[in-house]
């Protein structure tokens, strides 16, 4: 994911950003059951990462594309620690 921030004098870009990590999910879940939705999950790698992190739902641009991604996802998931 590329993060773009717009400021008065221009724009800053961070080419590789991971907003959801195991620690971030654990922090949210530490206060009790919390449902987490990830936005912008549009490829197989991001979908697998979200599933491995325990993300409850994803928002996608193309339901048809995600249907294909889910159908071709190898099971069981290969999650890295």
pLDDT in tens, 57-79: 998 888 888 899 989 998 898 88
Q: Please, which pLDDT band fits residue 56 given cuts at 50, 70 and 90? A: very high
* Residue 68 DSSP one-character state: H
Dihedrals φ, ψ of 56, to 5°?
-75, -35
What integer pLDDT is reported at residue 15 of this predicted model? Answer: 75
DSSP 41: -
- Which pLDDT score is estimated for 1? 65
How many domains is the chain built from? 1
Q: What is the pTM of this model?
A: 0.71
* 16-54: pLDDT as tens digits: 767 788 898 999 889 888 899 988 888 998 899 999 999
Question: Is residue 7 domain-resident?
Answer: no
In a domain, 51, yes or no: yes
CA distance 25 to 34: 9
φ/ψ bin of 80: left (φ > 0), alpha (ψ from -120 to 50), beta (otherwise) = beta
Which residue range forms the structural domain that includes residue 56?
21-81
């Amino acid at each position: 994911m590329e993060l773009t921030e717009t400021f008065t004098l221009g724009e800053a870009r961070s080419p590789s950003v991971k907003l959801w990590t195991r620690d971030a999910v654990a922090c949210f879940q530490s206060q009790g059951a919390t449902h987490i939705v990830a936005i912008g999950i549009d490829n197989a790698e991001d979908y697998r990462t979200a599933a491995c992190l325990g993300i409850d739902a994803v928002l996608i641009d193309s339901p048809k594309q995600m249907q294909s991604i889910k159908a071709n996802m190898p099971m069981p998931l290969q999650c890295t620690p």
